[in-house]
Amino acid sequence: MTEIVRLPVESWDWPCSAQDQEAAITALESGNVVLLPQLDFPLRDNERDFYFLSTGAEVKGKNISLSPGDDKVRGSSADVAELGVLRGMMVRFSNMSQALVQHLLPSYTATLERGRTCFCPLEIAGRPSSLREDDTRLHIDSSASSPTRGKRILQLVSNVNPVGQAQTWRLGEPFEQVARRYQSSLQGQPWGSSQVLEMLGITKGQRSAYDHNMLQLHDRMKADSAYQASAEQRIVALKPGGSWLVYTDQVSHAAMSGRLAFEQTFYLPVAGMREPAKSPLRVLERLMGRKLT
């Protein structure tokens, strides 16, 4: 069962003790969630107005995102002044997230890459979507367009909801159990397909056998309604004013409800982990008996 490990981190540059650092890395690499119930993302007054007034009408997709090295906030049709506020808020969240990881997971600093920052103003529950895109169904993260070729996907989520609404997630069974369950249904990658996908611009970089298998696991889980209902699972809540860290490529999760959260994604090469053998890449390679990248 996926555990929740609570740590008393109260600010983004908290001087984390060696004991807390140890607890964090052990929990995360073992496929557990690190809950930081006091780690609040502070808002400025003009940003707070933006939240309260936000009806979601200014959101074009599922959420608003900012990629590292990109000046442009994507997914919002807010006017120029509002976009400036949004961008400032997201850049600040991204920088604070980076600082937090440096303090809590110092051994990751050398190899950690910063990914996208997302702001999610829309209510999760009841949002129409295709089965494959429905994140209220248990899944592990794998992107059809951005292959990681084994790199870990670490997410930091902060709930900034001003009216007390929690983010609720379901957490499912451990990664190896998921992989074993669907292993016999995983199909090989058609020869040359990774080159074609890249050439057509469908993927950024080549999709490895690892990505191909992870994507199938993601799709099999979501499409399996019996599994969704019967899999070992628990409901967890992230209250406003708190944050959590989780390897979303490893922990089966489903975001069930909540609005107004920030998410920062990081990528970590398997070699940057303390225990690479626990990575989905190494677990899959062990189960399948071959290299996948």
Binding site for Co ion (CB under 5 A): 141, 248
Cβ neighbours for 128, distance < 8 A, ≥ 6 positions apart: none
| Nearest residue (CB) to Co ion, 9 versus 260 | 260
Residue 57 to residue 101: CA distance in whole angstroms: 33
**Number of CB atoms found within 10 A of residue 24's CB:** 23
Region of 180 (left: φ > 0; alpha: ψ -120 to 50; beta: rest) is: alpha
Find the shortest distance in angstroms from Cβ 233 to Co ion: 14
| Nearest residue (CB) to Co ion, 12 versus 247 | 247
Q: Which residues of 31-42 are buried (b: 16+ CB within 10 A; e: fewer)?
A: bbbbbbbebbbe
Find the shortest distance in angstroms from Cβ 141 to Co ion: 4
Identify the CA nearest to 244 among candidates 183, 172, 155. Answer: 155
Residue 16 to residue 10: CA distance in whole angstroms: 10
Find the shortest distance in angstroms from Cβ 124 to Co ion: 11
Residue 7 to residue 26: CA distance in whole angstroms: 13
What letter represents residue 12's amino acid? W
Identify the CA nearest to 41 among candidates 155, 156, 167, 165. Answer: 156
| Nearest residue (CB) to Co ion, 27 versus 171 | 171
Q: Are 117 and 262 in contact (CB under 8 A)?
A: yes
State the residue number with the nearest CB to Co ion.
141
Find the shortest distance in angstroms from Cβ 255 to Co ion: 7
| Nearest residue (CB) to Co ion, 76 versus 142 | 142
Find the shortest distance in angstroms from Cβ 138 to Co ion: 9
Please give the DSSP secondary-structure letter assigned to residue 74.
B
Please give the DSSP secondary-structure letter assigned to residue 94.
H
Find the shortest distance in angstroms from Cβ 142 to Co ion: 9
| Nearest residue (CB) to Co ion, 103 versus 279 | 279
Find the shortest distance in angstroms from Cβ 254 to Co ion: 8
Q: Exposed, middle or buried by CB within 10 Å (0-12, 13-18, 19+), for 255?
A: buried
| Nearest residue (CB) to Co ion, 58 versus 141 | 141
Going 118 to 119 to 120 to 122, the CA torsion angle's sign is: negative
CB-hemisphere CA count at 13 Å for 233?
Answer: 21
Find the shortest distance in angstroms from Cβ 44 to Co ion: 29
| Nearest residue (CB) to Co ion, 32 versus 248 | 248
